[in-house]
Chains A and B, each alone.
Chain A
């Protein structure tokens, strides 16, 4: 009986904590959403990641250019907060919503109030499961995977064993970046993919998985990591000199990875252009509001950045 009591109190306190945290986020939404009237609402998943901050910067630039007033809200990676923000935006008669979903599945229900109110919706970077929005804008991850295959093949002289570090299993970026690479690497008959293993987009796991795979396949000459973090883990696993002998290609275009490309410990990085994503989202919204039609899906190009082009890329995107 005492045990039961203890568990009941644990469950109760957990419930209280959850409701407290959920409650905390509400006043903030109301506060920042209050002046959203007549504006385009930009709902970001998080500002705690430079990638999404760049999306915001690009969107703000384009909004300033076109004279669109933009109301930026940060969901702090919480799908519930984001759902509240959609409701608040609709209630405050936002003219359009640009959403960067925290979670593609959760966003399907969250975006419903906006669709019911017939407000134009554009999704950026992540799609909304089962919902056709006015436009979905994301990096072309399949093309990026193909570009990665080409630059890696070139770096290893179109022959030898390579390994792949996969992202989080089941994520759309993992699928697309993997598929593009797999399709293209097949066209190089002398290249074999000897192992393809997940390191969950994580730097520490990238380090451990690379160490393990190099043990099983000591002849590997190239590594394709489906994001920067895992590529940096692979660089750490191989150490300075070996990293230059084994060619590593990353994906995303983050600062740390570009620095490694510049230093030569990574041979190339497939860089996304988050600013371009933000710009295109605002451009599409203002086209839709002006009565023009825009494509339902828009794939933004990704850029292959090598030691030769890294300075140019950094300047253009700073």
Chain B
């Protein structure tokens, strides 16, 4: 809670025009990092990076990780962690594809079933955490395994072609790729829920101090279930984007993406201790991860060095943020 209050005070102080620009820079360290990264890549890539085509690629490629990370933001704000988002994304897309091809349901119903499956997976996580008293790390680790296993069971280990309702997520509306629209819609949804709804504000309270939230009369258990259910729903949407882009649901889709989604949220300035986190920060975090991948490809950097660079940038991004906060509070 204390960090949340400091943030609120800072935001209010930021309205003073004299210090506004300084505050903006101080409060948006990750964004500054992203800008610097983009400038470096633009010159290093001989002006290929900042072309409309490449920026569109970056946004499309960021869409899956960003949508997963938006869902993860709810969980991390509420002081939890969701390790099952990658598996949930794989499972939900597979459920949709299977409903359409094997069970012969209409495309629209197949899509709805996939999204509902994401909500169920998330809600089960939430129930295990809220009522089962499992640490979220363990509950979602179990779900990571269960959901991936079910994906293999349903698919028999083979890719299944997706219905038109899912393939739509990988298509274009006019000149704009649908994944970019999905990215925008889910990002706005995440920001609205966190900032403008009672349940969203309650997540900060639960994450800041769960005991205080309980004593203040907040329905902590219901909030936790909602948090994980939202994460499951966002994972399902990400799953549809991945499947839509490949026109098929892959049994191994999104394996390991949970770690990237957590990294995106933390790079974006959230605290794993809970109570702090913003949708805009998460977006920046996801973009940083994607831009690094894109840039290393453009520069044709060797695969061995790519992993080193990725690790160093993740560590640096969070380290700078830690230093910055310390510097301000002392």
Known contacts A166-B303, A197-B297, A208-B61; A236 and B141 CB within 8 A of each other: no
A: residues with CB less than 8 A from B are: 6, 9-10, 13-14, 17, 48-50, 166, 169-170, 194-198, 202-204, 207-209, 211-213, 215-216, 232-233, 236, 256
Say whether, besides A9-B135, A17-B141, A215-B57, A204 and B246 are in contact (CB < 8 Å).
yes
Contact with A along B124-147 (1 / 0, CB 8 A): 000000000011011001100000
Q: Contacts A17-B138, A17-B141, A216-B298 known; A207 to B245 CB distance under 8 Å?
A: yes
Number of inter-chain CB pairs below 8 Å: 78
A50 to B157: give the CA distance in the assembly, Å.
8
- B197 at the A interface (CB under 8 A): no
CB neighbours (8 Å) of A202 from chain B are 252
Chain B residue, CB-CB nearest to A9: B135
B253 touching A204 by the CB < 8 A rule? yes
Q: Given A49-B157, A236-B245, A236-B247, decide whether A212 and B137 contact each other with a Cβ distance below 8 A.
A: no
Which of B48-56, B70-78, B185-193, B278-286 lies at the interface? B48-56
Q: Is B329 an interface residue (CB 8 A)?
A: no
Q: Are A215 and B54 in contact (CB under 8 A)?
A: yes
B104 at interface, CB cutoff 8 A: no
Instruction: Collect the chain B residues with CB atoms within 8 Å of residue A208's CB.
Output: 57, 61, 293
Q: Which bucket holds chain B's interface residue count?
A: 35 or more
CA distance A48 to B304 in the complex (A): 29
Residues on the B chain within 8 Å of A211, using CB: 57, 60-61
Tell me the minimal C-beta distance from A176 to chain B in angstroms: 15
List B residues 32-87 near A (Cβ within 8 Å).
Answer: 45, 48, 51, 53-54, 57, 60-61
Contact A198 B294 (CB under 8 A): no
Residue B2 interfacial (CB < 8 Å) = no
Distance A17 CA – B252 CA, assembled complex (angstroms): 23
Take A50-B157, A197-B300, A198-B306 as given contacts and tell me if A204 and B242 are in contact as well, using a CB distance cutoff of 8 Å.
Answer: yes
Q: Could you say which residues of chain A place their CB within 8 Å of the CB of B102?
A: none
Residues of A within 8 A of B300 (CB): 194-197, 216
Query: A198-B306, A204-B250, A215-B53 given as contacts; is B297 within 8 A of A13 (CB)?
Result: no
Interface residues of B in 283-316 (CB under 8 A from A): 293-294, 296-298, 300, 303-304, 306-307
In the bound complex, do residue B158 and residue A50 qualify as a contact, i.e. CB atoms below 8 Å apart? yes
Any A CB within 8 A of the CB of B159: yes
The 15 sampled A-B contact pairs (Cβ below 8 Å) are A9-B135, A17-B141, A195-B300, A196-B300, A197-B297, A198-B306, A204-B254, A211-B57, A211-B61, A212-B57, A212-B297, A212-B298, A216-B48, A216-B300, A236-B246
Flag whether B105 is at the interface (Cβ < 8 A): no
How long is the Cα–Cα vector from A99 to B141 in the complex, in angstroms?
A: 31
* Closest residue on chain A to residue B64 by CB atoms: A204
A256 to B141, CA, bound (A): 32
- Considering only residues 193-216 of chain B, those with a C-beta below 8 Å from chain A are none
**Do B48 and A215 touch across chains, with their CB atoms under 8 A apart?**
yes
Residues on A with C-beta less than 8 A from B134 are: 13
A13:B135 contact, CB within 8 angstroms: yes
C-alpha spacing A50/B159, complex, angstroms: 12
Q: Decide: A6 and B45 in contact? CB cutoff 8 A.
A: no
Contact check, B297 vs A48: say whether CB atoms are below 8 A apart: no
| A233 pairs with B303, CB closer than 8 A | no
In the complex, besides A48-B152, A204-B250, A256-B159, 16 extra interface pairs with C-beta distance below 8 angstroms are A10-B137, A13-B135, A14-B137, A50-B157, A166-B303, A170-B304, A196-B300, A198-B306, A204-B245, A211-B60, A211-B61, A212-B297, A213-B297, A216-B48, A216-B297, A236-B246
